[in-house]
Amino acid sequence: MNILSWALVLLVLATSSLQDSVLGQRSLPQLTAEEMLNLIATPDPLKNLDPNDSDSHLAHILIPRVPETSNNTIVRNYIISTLKALKWHIEEDDFIDETPIGPKRFVNVVATKDPDAPRKVSLAAHYDSKYFPPGDRNFGFLGATDSAAPCAILLDLAETLDPLLEERKHRPVTGLEDDEDVQDTTLQLIFFDGEEAFVEWSDTDSIYGARHIAKKWATTYAQPYTKRRLMDTQATELSTIEHLILLDLLGTPDPSIRSYYLETAWLFDSLVSAEQRLGRAGAFAYGDEQSMAPGRWRTFFRPRSEHDAYYGHIGDDHVPFLRRGVSVLHLIAAPFPYVWHTLKDDASALHLPTLRRWNILMRVFISEYLHLRPLQSKRGEMYMKWEAELKNAMTPNTQISDVR
């Protein structure tokens, strides 16, 4: 994203998405406190986001990874191997594009749990880091918030939700409203290459990967697999995306996230609801971190009014999709973190309790979106340990609440 984009946040978007979700606006079924606990407690929501743990996803990604460099390939191969281990379908969108410093090779990575599904919710982040020439004071830029941490969150989310997606495939349809339709929606992760400008952000020097794959999918007709029997025979790969949820510039404390698009305001509200319920249940408590203690934590999200007069946007990887009618939820800190596009955007910029909170929030939000049911078998000692830790972190006037 570019610095001028923040100045354009208040730009009115003249048109809304041409492609609302097939299922439309709806109420998402809420997990119980016990179900949320299972998502919070296992796997450990911070282990894969800790840059000090050499085995974590984040540690493997947090290196300079400019497009068409060996480090970019290392990170891409790590992402692919992690998702292949889950037996997800992998697409490598490999192409050459012209840049201000010459032709460059880019490779988007697309991982889909069930490629035969007629619809998908697509979570995305860019895995490249910004190019600075040798001698520049920011040469060696790491991009911890921009966007190594969001990529690590997506990988952890895939590992956490994969067994729940497997369970859903074998679950009898309950007869609940939307349940059968939702079971035809799969989870897809997109890791964009070439989000950053090489010289100065413009329509041609930015979001190389997103521009390429959005155009490609807009003209690629979806294959009529068995599960797609009811799908329009003219459907394109792009039209199978129910929502594109893009994560960027996340990991510093006290982010401010707002709703940008009218057609996904209900989805934004569902995310806020998940945050409120987790907060009331004391799920954000983390050791002695007072900013996450029950009754003391502050919301990540700016209040949204049904009567908002405008919806603006920040330039990012979602724009080529938005322009082609895809429904978008953009989760980006605005104003940008103070470390943006500087060498200070390294591991020291990341606030571990904030990363943990983003992780458990996305686990709950996407589980509710996809009607997943966290397993109940691990309650026992895990619950008692969590409850004891939570009570220690509580202020005298707060209580554990079984919220829905």
Catalytic annotation, residues: 195, 248
- Rounded-to-5 percentages of helix, strand, coil across the chain: 35, 15, 50
Distances (CA, A) of 376 to 38, 46, 178, 190: 7, 21, 23, 30
Residue with tokens 């809304």: 16
Residue type at position 188: Q
Residue with tokens 């919710």: 121
Token digits of residue 260: 């940008």
Angle between helix 352-369 and helix 149-169 axes, rounded to 10 deg: 30
DSSP state of 61: H
DSSP state of 259: -
Residue 120, beta-bridge partner list: 186, 241
Helix (H, G, I), strand (E, B) or coil at 51: coil
Spatial neighbors of 138 by CB under 8 A, at least 6 apart, are 130, 132, 341, 342, 343
Report the distance separating Cα 279 and Cα 291, nearest Å.
12
Helix (H, G, I), strand (E, B) or coil at 218: helix
